[in-house]
Amino acid sequence: MGEGVVSVPTVDRRAVLRAALLWLAFLAPFFYLTYGVANWLASQRAEVPNLAFGWERHVPFLAWTIVPYWSINAFYAFSLFVNETPQAVGRLGRRYLTAQIVAVTCFIAFPLQAIFVRPETHGLPGFMFDVLGGFDKPFNQAPSLHIALLVIIWDHWRRRLRGAALALWHAWSLLIGLSVLTTWQHHVIDIPTGALLGLFALWLFPADGPSPLAGFRLTRDAKARRLAIYYAAGAMGLLLASVLVTRDNGAGLLLLWPALALAIVALGYAGAGPGVFQKQANGRISLASYWLLLPYRLGARLNVFWWTHRLAPAVELADGVFLGRGPRRSELSTYVAIIDMTAEMPAIAAPGLAWHAFPSMDLLPLDAGRIREAALVVAAASQHGPVLICCALGFQRSAAVATCWLVRSGLAPNAAIAGERIKAAGRPVHLRFETLAAIDEAAR
């Protein structure tokens, strides 16, 4: 195996080949059928709008970039065959299918057209443009399905390549992405919307675990339902604003990003749970989660600043155990371990720092088992040096764990007194009756 390719265990190549052929036999005709229908429906409209900025007229037409533009078709098919298991083939196929269904739905509901007329082109590029024009009419624009598929395929190969091969893949992927503009196939706004769609497909079918919506059950918790409604209302408001702003300015489509972020968070509160943030036990989050939920995280960070900028970052409870908000990079050298109760915030890497994440939804109470599990890790980690127990603000989720640790360590007789001790140390914790009961149960 070449130096640039990651070694993988021996696999059943026949099973992978069979799964890849079946998926390709379904996806290829489905792609051309649905894409063609969307084009035909748009062509029947009396007027199809366009979303292009005036400065886009300065984007050069580079005929040769039709080659990288077309190359995604080969990678689309070939990537199905480069997998370790039939299940991995199915995951990639579902990602393709998700991007296709969402994009075509948008093309039918809100068709747009490209307005630039390409100059006459000869030779191989001319032939390739002629073939492309046979089925790809200038209507299927935002979100760019080309870019959505590129994000999916780029992620597929970046996990399998190393060294020079990986660098070459990044460069070629960038060229494919730019080619949608330099072939005058798409306008600029199509690119971020297409990337958003590709990331959504990666998020929906992650490589490192089950789908965040697998086993979704509508919550019975009244507070969780209320929070889900609030976030869903915010998502709908941003979606409406996007539609209204886009009438005058194509940049309004960028509001789809925070709208999708809030919709995902709403799903978390509605019953999907902290899995929507795709945070692992070491605090790392998936690439898709990082970018899809970035608008929400920026809002969360502003909220942290608003509530904690006049407070100390953390307070020491006893024996080198601290309670506080999520740490900044400059504060990490103080600790040997971080006990992180947030689902929404990613870990910050630092040499020699152990990061223990217990992803939990903000503003919702922790159950006794979760509190006990985290408190035991605090006790073990504190044997090696200073430990920080944190959540976004350091008021509820982390406070519950800190309170349990105080009781289990014999430093407080019960949760209520432990909570008062934390307040006396300067941390304004908010622990409700049901949380105090769960802490006392966890401390037994």
Residue 202 to residues 16, 45, 94: CA-CA distances in angstroms?
A: 20, 33, 10
CA–CA gap between residue 325 and residue 393 (Å, rounded):
4
Tokens (6 digits) for 93: 């196929």
Residues 270-304 as b or e (16 or more Cβ within 10 Å = b): bbbbbbbbbbeeebbbbbbbbbbbebbbebbeeeb
CA–CA gap between residue 183 and residue 180 (Å, rounded):
6
Tokens (6 digits) for 141: 């624009």
Contact 185/136 with Cβ under 8 angstroms? yes
At residue 30's C-alpha, the angle toward residues 187 and 250, to 5°, is 20
CA–CA gap between residue 138 and residue 430 (Å, rounded):
57
What length does the chain have?
A: 444
Helix segments in 218-286, DSSP class H: 222-246, 256-267
SS3 285: strand
Question: Cα dihedral sign for 20, 26, 31, 36?
Answer: positive
Contact 23/186 with Cβ under 8 angstroms? no
CA–CA gap between residue 334 and residue 347 (Å, rounded):
16
Q: Is 106 a catalytic residue?
A: no
CA–CA gap between residue 67 and residue 65 (Å, rounded):
5
DSSP secondary structure, 286-327, as one string: -HHHHHHTHHHHHHHHHHHHHHHTTS-SEEEEETTEEEEEPP
CA–CA gap between residue 359 and residue 356 (Å, rounded):
10
Tokens (6 digits) for 400: 């519950």
DSSP secondary structure, 37-54, as one string: HHHHHHHTSS-------G
Catalytic machinery residues? 391
